Amino acid sequence: MKRLFVLLFLIPNWILAQQGLVPTSSYYRDRLFDNQIDSSESTTKLGKYTGSGFLPELESSYNLHDRIRDRSNQYSEFTEKLCKKHLIEVNAQDAKVSISPVGEFSYGKELNDTTGNYLYKNSRGIQIQADLFKNFSFQTSFYENQARFSSFERDFIDANGEYYTTSIGYNQQNGVVPGAARTKPFKTNGYDYAFAVGHFVYSPFKNFSVVAGNNQQFIGSGYRSLLYGNHNIGAPYFRTKFTFLKKWEWNFFRTRSMNLVRKKTYTTVEGYYQPKIVGINYVTWRPFQKLSVHFSENTVWKMGDSLITKAAHPLVFSPVPFSARITTNNAVYSFYALSFDWSVLNSLRAYGQFVTPFTRSFAGQIGIRYNPKIPIRTLLQLEYNVVSKNMYQGVNGLTNYSNYNLPIAHIMGNGFQEILFRISSELNRFYFGLNAHLFFLKDYNRHSLQAIQLQNSTTNGLLNNTKLEIGYRLNQKLNINIYAQCVQRKEWWEQGKGTLLFQVGIRTGLIDNVNDF
């Protein structure tokens, strides 16, 4: 009882948190969708993931704990902690608490940068997570960052900055780092930003769970998502998951998003942003063990404009599909998706998404994941994505499918096709990865999903982005890895730019560093 009292006393100071959920970064998603036997222990079958694809999933589901377990033999207490555990782990009768440092330290150079500046990232943080009793867990993480990015990353970050009112309109300032936070300037061409993420999970029954927090989400089986990508900024949300009749699952998700446009009138130090509500009703049907089919209704609800903020519409909390259609198009924007995940063979998984608002706009995805039966853990992935010009745009900019000026679905927003190829291999902690992206841009406008558009120019042409990375994975649980990477990017249109950069570093890869755009 004394231990329990201490834990309950500390909970309010830890805010929200995890351990019940597995991160949504690509490393953990690849492990989740891997159908193969764990190469480090050939007698243990991990089984196929047959869930909804609405991530993150509970760690206790689908043998997720086994998928990231390190079964290597360690010969000292230090290497055991370094390679397989958290820095601090406390186990009691009804509780388990762990604390670990998180972050990244990297150094690099953009070869065609004539300023003499180098690239770097100095990220420091801490993660606290706990399981209490059998059905409650929480986690919280905090990151403090200073960084200098490559020229194409800076262009993207600055293009998504916040809008301040002026005497003649608006002025865009600062920037937004994908998957992280808003920024402020730091030294020469640098950025200073901090963010905290966390959540709690309560699962009173095996087939029902409640999750709330502001951690990242991802919907789908692909590397990209046309419904909810993991490059998003953390936003407060509430999610329930209910499994019924063995073959059915229902997810109810509501989150508050922001258009980074400052209010014109305010009484605080700075004007508040334009809030909106994003709601997702997501139903999964598993007709067979290897096949799952999903229907999704995604809706953006306006909460006022640049002058006032209004309360959420009562239908925001309706779980009934198509109920948003009762309201006017000026106040709400809805689209619908049908997707699937099919384990064709033990080593081959096919997946896809089709999205439309029932107008001429649409988005589509088709892809395969192949994990060959070889001693080296290997993934081959081929994926095609297409998004029409106005797919994620509402009648007015206030209901665009975006958050913090970033697209919520695919990071490129609207008006493109993408072919991507991935190959990754890992043996005895050493790993290799190649990501190749080819974009076909048609009337592409990177500002199209922002509530304010100071620039309306469009782009037509080709864009390629290829990243090669090699490294050594110290700790699978926290994805601590030492890495070296090369990124080559080229814009194939008039006055297009080319970029070649090299970086080395060490990081905890719980959150993806998204720069494949």
* CATH number reported for the structural domain that contains residue 155 in this entry: 2.40.160.130
- Residue 49 per-residue DSSP state: -
- Other beta carbons within 10 angstroms of residue 506's beta carbon come to 15
Q: What is the 3-state secondary structure (H, E, C) of 424-461?
A: EEEECCEEEEEEEEEEEEEEECCCCCCCCCCCCCCEEE
Q: What is the separation of C-alpha 15 from the centre of its chain, rounded to a whole number of angstroms?
A: 21
Question: Can you give the pLDDT at residue 507?
Answer: 97
Distance (Å, rounded) from C-alpha 497 to C-alpha 494? 9
Residue 514 domain-assigned (yes or no): no
Q: Which residues contact 76 (CB under 8 A, 6 or more apart)?
A: none
Number of domains in the chain: 1
318 token code pair? 């309706």
20-to-129, 200, 243, 512 alpha-carbon distances in Å: 9, 8, 17, 19
| Cβ-contact 63, 47 below 8 angstroms | yes
Residue 75 domain-assigned (yes or no): yes
Question: Can you give the pLDDT at residue 11?
Answer: 38
Which domain, by its residues, includes 146?
2-508
Per-residue pLDDT of the chain (517 residues; tens, 9 = 90+): 444 333 333 433 333 333 478 899 999 999 999 876 554 444 345 567 888 899 998 887 766 666 777 777 777 777 877 888 888 888 888 888 999 999 999 999 999 888 889 999 999 999 999 988 888 999 999 999 999 999 999 999 999 999 998 888 889 999 999 999 999 999 989 999 999 999 999 998 888 999 999 999 999 999 999 999 999 999 999 999 999 998 999 999 999 999 999 888 776 667 789 999 999 999 999 999 899 999 999 999 998 877 788 888 888 888 888 888 887 778 899 999 999 999 998 899 999 999 999 988 999 999 999 999 888 999 999 999 999 999 999 988 899 999 999 999 999 999 999 999 999 999 989 999 999 999 999 999 999 999 988 777 899 999 999 999 999 999 988 999 999 999 999 999 977 889 999 999 999 999 999 999 9
Residue 460 domain-assigned (yes or no): yes
Question: Can you give the pLDDT at residue 410?
Answer: 97
Residue 517 domain-assigned (yes or no): no
Residue 515 domain-assigned (yes or no): no
H or E segment to which residue 156 belongs = helix 151-159
Query: Among 291, 496, 280, 305, which Cα is nearest to 409's?
Result: 280
486-to-113, 423, 481 alpha-carbon distances in Å: 15, 15, 16
Distance (Å, rounded) from C-alpha 273 to C-alpha 261? 5
Residue 60 domain-assigned (yes or no): yes
Distance (Å, rounded) from C-alpha 98 to C-alpha 130? 6
| Cβ-contact 358, 324 below 8 angstroms | no
Distance (Å, rounded) from C-alpha 217 to C-alpha 280? 12
Distance (Å, rounded) from C-alpha 432 to C-alpha 424? 5
Phi, psi of 37 (to 5 degrees): -70, 140
Question: Can you give the pLDDT at residue 246?
Answer: 87
Specify the pTM: 0.91
Identify the three-state secondary structure at position 79.
helix
Residue 321 domain-assigned (yes or no): yes
Question: Can you give the pLDDT at residue 112?
Answer: 85
| Cβ-contact 508, 104 below 8 angstroms | yes
Question: Can you give the pLDDT at residue 64?
Answer: 65
Distance (Å, rounded) from C-alpha 211 to C-alpha 135? 12
